Structure 1
Amino acid sequence: MIKRIHYVIMLGMIGFFALILVNTSSNPVRESFTYFPPDPDVTFDSASTSLTILTQDDEDEYTLDWKTGSSLSEVAYLRQDLSFLYEEGRLIDSMSIWKENTATLRQKKESTSEDSGHYEAITYHYGEIHYPNDVIKSAQQLSYDQLYVIDSPMTPLESFKKASSEEEKEWQYILDHAMDQQAQLVFKAMVTEYNLHPEDYYIFPLTSLGQYQQRTLPGLSQKQTADTIGGIWEGLYKNYFLGIIPPNGPTESPIGSTIPIILLHKHSPYLLILFQTKSGKNIELIQYLNEPILEPQDTLEE
Structure 2
Amino acid sequence: MKKFSTVLTILIVCLLAVSIYKYKNPPAQESITFFPIDPKVNFIKTETILSPLNKPTNFILWTIHSTLDQKAYLRQDAGLLFANGRLTGQLSDWKQNTAALIQDDQIATEKSTLLQAITFHHAELHEKGDQIFSSQAMSADQLYVVHSNPFKTFRVPSNKNEEQWKQQLDAETERMLQLSWNNGIRYFSIPLKNYEVLPFSQFHERAKTTLPGFSKPETARIVGNLWEGLYKNYILGIKKADGTIITPLGSTIPLILLAKDKTHLLVLTETGKGEPILLRQIIEEAD
TM-score of the alignment, normalized to the shorter chain, above 0.5: yes
Other structure's SS at 2:218 match: helix
Other structure's SS at 1:55 match: coil
Q: Which runs of no fewer than 5 residues in structure 1 stay unpaired?
A: 1-28, 293-302
Match of 2:213 in 1: 219
Match of 2:9 in 1: none
Match of 2:191 in 1: 197
Match of 2:157 in 1: 163
Q: Is contact 1:246-1:281 (8 Å) kept?
A: no
Other structure's SS at 2:48 match: strand
Q: How much has 1:30 moved relative to structure 2? A: 4.3
- 1:18-97 to structure 2, matched below 5 A, reads 30-57=29-56, 62-97=58-93
In 1, Cα distance between the equivalents of 2:213 and 2:77? 28
Give the counterpart of 2:201 among 187, 204, 207: 207
In 1, Cα distance between the equivalents of 2:207 and 2:162? 30
1:269 correspondence with 2:231: no
Other structure's SS at 1:169 match: helix
Q: Which amino acid aligns with 1:278?
A: G
Give the counterpart of 1:149 among 127, 145, 152: 145
Give the counterpart of 1:123 among 119, 123, 128: 119
Q: How much has 1:127 moved relative to structure 2? A: 0.5
RMSD: 1.6
Q: TM-score, normalised by structure 1?
A: 0.82
Equivalent pairs counted in the alignment come to 259
Higher normalized contact order (CA 8 Å, seq sep 6+, divided by chain length): 1
- 1:104-143 to structure 2, matched below 5 A, reads 104-143=100-139
Runs of 4+ in 1 over 4 A off after TM superposition: none
Q: How much has 1:56 moved relative to structure 2? A: 4.6
Q: How much has 1:283 moved relative to structure 2? A: 1.1
Other structure's SS at 1:271 match: strand
Match of 2:94 in 1: 98
Q: Which runs of no fewer than 5 residues in structure 2 stay unpaired?
A: 1-27
> Which has a greater percent of helix?
2
Match of 2:182 in 1: 188
1:245-284 deviations in Å (ceiling 9; x for gaps): 1122631111111111100112242111111111222111
Other structure's SS at 2:239 match: coil
Q: How much has 1:291 moved relative to structure 2? A: 2.6
1:84-143 deviations in Å (ceiling 9; x for gaps): 011000000101010000001100111112110000000000011111222000100100
Q: Is contact 1:269-1:291 (8 Å) kept?
A: no
Other structure's SS at 1:141 match: strand
